[in-house]
Amino acid sequence: MESRLSRDDWIAHGSRVLAQNGVAALKAEPLARQLGVSRGSFYWHFQDIQAFHRAVLEHWRARSTLQVIRRIEARRADRLATLMGEAFEASWELERAVRAWASQATWVAEEVAQVDEVRLTFLEQLLLSEGLSASTARARALLLYWAALGQMLTPGMRLKRGAVSKLAQMLLHR
């Protein structure tokens, strides 16, 4: 008897497959086979592959941006340093896969651009809350974001925790 998978089970599996094998691997039949279920399970939860792709992308957005922002906002102190520590120590496979996907699909590129703006605005707000001017906060938010993306693209080069703390101090220096 086939075990019943939830919509979230499909999305979590799709996210793992996307991170490991790219968007070309996000097809109903191979995913169902990997999960040991029929394609009917897939279509029970998703109207079509496009709906599944959108759900996987929304999961990425929620996990890599919205949940992080909520977690950091809940902290009372050291929010920038905490965020930077998480960002520079993160596993970036899914982020790289989503950005590669964005190079192939305009609608994904538009979603990534929206996520980038949400992240930048949040960084800017953190820097503003530390007393930096608006123009300085935006410029430093961009610099920090570019540094994180640069590290994502060069997985062999990682900032050590001490370097992340030093960078946070530099960004807050008036």
Let me know: does 102 contact 19? Beta carbons within 8 Å: no
Note whether 52 and 26 are within 8 A (CB): yes
Q: Collect all residues with Cβ–Cβ distance below 8 Å to 110 and sequence separation of at least 6.
A: none
Give the containing element (helix H, strand E) for 95.
helix 93-102
- Give the model confidence (pLDDT) of 115-143 as tens digits: 999 999 999 999 999 999 999 999 999 99
pLDDT in tens, 25-76: 999 999 999 999 999 999 999 999 999 999 999 999 999 999 999 999 999 8
Give 87-110 pLDDT, tens digit per residue.
878 888 999 999 999 999 999 999
Average pLDDT score over the chain: 90
